[in-house]
Amino acid sequence: MAHSTIYLHRDFDGVTSAALVLRGLREEFSVGKTALKTVDYGEPWSETTLSKPCAVVDFLYHRDATYFWDHHPSAFPSRIAESHFRERSNSGDTVWFDPDEPSCASLIAAR
């Protein structure tokens, strides 16, 4: 069983999103022990080394995320990050973004 980390924004939507992802990782991919790490704005996010495999929910895109879900129009800290996301998204990778979703949890639940 693989171990994983879920990086989440520390608000209700982030916690709910992490719970949904955790359930999915365990049921679909037999992921074992999972660490939950809260992240917040003001941290040097793009310079942070992420544990892998990992998921980022309800927070800024990170190029090293194995899985990514967000709904905020501000999900991309730079044009480079957005371009990287688009490349992954267009190739069918495990990243999702929809600014029309009312919450990150609803975006995850729709998958």
Say what the pLDDT of residue 93 is: 84
At residue 1, the pLDDT reads: 46
Under 8 Å between Cβ of 34 and 50: no
Distance separating alpha carbons of residues 77 and 5, to the nearest angstrom: 21
The model's pTM: 0.90
How many whole angstroms separate alpha carbon 60 and alpha carbon 5? 16
28 vs 110, higher pLDDT: 110
| Alpha-carbon distances of 32 from 1, 20, 108, rounded to whole Å | 5, 15, 20
Strands, E, within 34-100: which ranges? 34-39, 54-57, 67-70, 95-97
pLDDT at 9 over 50: yes
pLDDT for 79? 96
The stretch 40-63 carries a mean pLDDT of 91
Q: Is residue 95 classed as helix, strand or coil in its secondary structure?
A: strand
Mean pLDDT, the chain, integer: 90
